[in-house]
Structure 1
């Protein structure tokens, strides 16, 4: 493909933008570049890690989505950018088994470029964090966690059968949405694993889950009522929550905090913060030092670089009050919608949008297992929020995933997929056992 609109990153925002533009402009004008072959909604990764969601059933092929939505899919990771000639470089793709080259390095020219590569973990310089923890940045991380959890459960089952009640310890560092959702999902999953052959494990005693948070409360960015409800639900599930806990060092089998407390860890997850991918700093684009995000103006244009835009977690965007737009799926969705209208006006030869992008917070929902959800929904009146909990909140949480699928698959296929997955879950194990 020569010229047109090139979108790098097939996460929630990037993929939605590619699908909407592709359906209007076609594959000769729209391309999506991604280092993976299939898409999974990132807020679902905690379910993949716990084994309650199978990525081979949940994942959607980018090649299929490109065919169905009218965009060109380019497989590979972006490695370089020459903004002066409007050209980016895509790395070669190799087979994992024998390192044989499958696709060579490629160069793609563009008229407009959108960078939507999401985020990765921010370890804040904590010694041992990168080496001894797993972060849920992608499907491969979630699968690695799940397989290690299975091995540890098998070992603990064998020990319990022989009379040793050592069990296993899972430590999750970070009490934001990812950490809280993972802790709750792991507790539910461990109970299901016990049904499927781990008969000697008493999960509340033998599978010990500890959540460490540096702030005075978990879910600190959300209203205190949401935080209190989540804490109550985690306590009911026998999950230990430690707040005001600043982790200073992580070793192979333990976590140490600033007060000298030690937490034994057979499996440790880092969910304490995110930053933009480090390779962005090598592209010659302006980035902020705090989180490495690409600096954009109020129209999502990269500052000082013509015809380049950024959206989602990797974009350093501020709202009308000067506060950073939070790295949430709803922000990426809104930004994708804004850029869709921007590019459609360009295609029609109309002047650019005069109205700048404005983030609107519709609230947040946090899943506490498969049975309940807590959160706050923002009303039309400024400062008004509505606390939701339980089954109603759970339905709202599930609807967010369906709305994302609707944007990339359409309403009919989304409905069919939802019914199919419901039926499949009635004929397969509740957790992935292999």
Structure 2
């Protein structure tokens, strides 16, 4: 029986495990599966990572959107093992998973080893602090639900404290300072989306009486970007349209400012500016998890990503594949690799499903080509903006407003459909609408 091991249950890894389980596994314990499919992840639950900015802003309750890996495994004929990848033996075709610890650092499950015939590594990415002094210690990243929830709780606490604290004295000739200042370092998609969501959150918290601050003037949001414009990875007209919308809702845009140091209550830029920051979010870049650099000699690039061929196989081992943010895959006709986006992980999971079927049949593997369907950025309650490209419209078109927001929401619904099928996706959408109609717009506790 062929043994598939998938390490990492993100967008690509979980979709691939689900499809492999549906095709080769068995949900009936009395029936023998055609192949053994095992998903390994360090967390017990899955959440779509592009939603974490909404969790941080409180506009989404993560517990209503998380998916239990063990339940998904039961429903779709694969096995789940919780643990973190710590080692690889390519000669023995074996991965090592670290011990599983409880909240008190007690050992629940000891270190384990899993043998494979085909290994797929899909462990995503982590925040890149670029060695900036104090950045890792004094700012919050948005890699996990725990980090997003930590920021949300600190934001509510900061609002409550500010309401009962005397305002700073007004200095003649200088503008009045906000009572609370949130600084977001990095104006990519995560930073931009979070800034818009936070502006809406400030208004909702005030409406529910958690504070009596003026949502626009007393709660400041500064978006700091080292490049000349926000959303540097997207087209300039998308960046311009987004900047106009953020300016309208009172987000302070600071472009061309490289952060040199992050302290507990301020940020110092390379140009010498000091920016007050009661809360700092670091969203300036990503890199691959450090463990990839120690996987039995598998080649990595400067960001620590595994270098893969067009077949998505690693350069020196045909039995090991890598997809998603942790893979450096060439993008023909472009100077850069396939971008670390959810749509790329989804495409690679779909491609690899067909490719692995050919591998079992002993056929030659096809080459993967990324298809860019455009990019969408949610501006929360206010709007959305983006561009559609390629096969969708036969060209390139800037979209914004209600249509762009509908397209943005559709991306997550397509992910749900890939995991559960379209009938359950429709039911999930309806259930989500019911919850939204009977619950506060922002999580208040």
Q: Which runs of 5+ in 2 are unaligned?
A: 27-34, 171-176
Partner of 1:295: 307
Check conservation: 1:3, 1:111, Cα contact below 8 A.
yes
Which shifted more, 190-199 or 295-304? 190-199
Deviation (angstroms), 1:143:
1.0
User: 2:142 maps to which residue?
Assistant: 136
- Displacement of 1:222 in angstroms is 1.2
Match of 1:111 in 2: 117
The alignment yields a C-alpha RMSD, in angstroms, of 1.9
Per the alignment, do residues 144 and 250 of structure 1 end up closer, same or farther by CA in structure 2, a change over 3 Å counting?
same
Residue 161 of structure 1, CA deviation? 10
**Equivalent-residue separation in structure 2 for 1:128 and 1:190 (angstroms):** 27
Tell me which residue corresponds to 2:29. none
Does residue 19 (structure 1) correspond to residue 11 (structure 2)? The answer is: no
Quote how far apart the aligned CAs of 1:378 are: 0.4
Offset of 1:47 from its aligned partner? 0.2
Quote the residue 1:328 is aligned against: 341
* Cα distance between partner residues in 2 of 1:194 and 1:156: 13
TM alignment of 1:396-411, pairs within 5 A: 396-411=407-422
Distance 2:106 2:89 in 1: 28
Matched, 1:184 2:191: no
Query: How far, CA to CA, are the matches of 1:61 and 1:160 in structure 2?
Result: 46
Counterpart contact for 1:81–1:87, Cα < 8 Å = yes
What SS does structure 2 have at the residue aligned with 1:205? Answer: coil
Aligned to 1:340: 353
**Would you say how many aligned residue pairs link Structure 1 and Structure 2?**
430
Q: Offset at 1:398?
A: 0.3
* Partner SS state of residue 388, structure 1: strand
Moved over 4 A (4+): 160-166
CA contact (8 A) 2:159 2:211 kept: no
Residue 91 of structure 1: aligned partner: 98
User: Secondary structure of the equivalent of 2:95?
Assistant: strand
* Equivalent position to 2:369, from 358, 361, 385: 358
Unmatched segments (≥5 aa) in structure 1: none
1:325-349: CA deviations, max 9, x gaps? 11111111111111101111233x2
Residue number in structure 1 paired with 2:237: 225
Question: Quick one: distance in 1 between partners of 2:398 and 2:70?
Answer: 40
Q: 1:65 aligns with which of 59, 72, 81?
A: 72
Contact conserved, 2:86 with 2:291, CA < 8 A, in 1? yes
Between the aligned partners of 1:318 and 1:34, the Cα distance in structure 2 is 26
Does the CA-based 8 Å contact 1:3-1:109 persist in structure 2?
Answer: no
Q: 1:51 aligns with which of 47, 53, 58?
A: 58
Q: How many angstroms apart in 2 are the aligned matches of 1:309 and 1:381?
A: 29
Aligned to 2:433: 422
Distance change (3 Å), C-alpha of 1:258 and 1:156: same
Answer whether contact 2:17 2:78 (CA < 8 A) is retained: yes
CA distance in 2, matches of 1:333, 1:264: 40
**Residue 212 of structure 1: aligned partner:** 224
Q: Tell me by how many angstroms 1:157 deviates.
A: 2.3
Separation (CA, whole Å) in 2 of partners of 1:75 and 1:294: 22
Normalised to the residue count of structure 2, the TM-score between the two structures is: 0.93
2:179 alignment counterpart: 167
Quote the Cα distance in structure 2 between the aligned partners of 1:161 and 1:197.
Answer: 19
* 2:73 is aligned with 1:41: no
Distance 1:424 1:79, change over 3 A: same
In the TM superposition, what is the alpha-carbon distance from 1:383 to its structure 2 partner? 9.1
Q: Which residue of 2 aligns with 1:239?
A: 251
Post-superposition Cα deviations, 1:294-352, rounded to whole Å, max 9, x if no partner, equal 011110001112300100000011111253111111111111111101111233x2402
What TM-score does the superposition give when structure 1 sets the normalisation length?
0.95
- In 2, Cα distance between the equivalents of 1:216 and 1:161? 34
What is the DSSP-based 3-state SS (H/G/I as helix, E as strand, rest coil) of the residue aligned with 1:32?
strand
Other structure's SS at 1:426 match: helix
Cα distance between partner residues in 2 of 1:120 and 1:100: 25
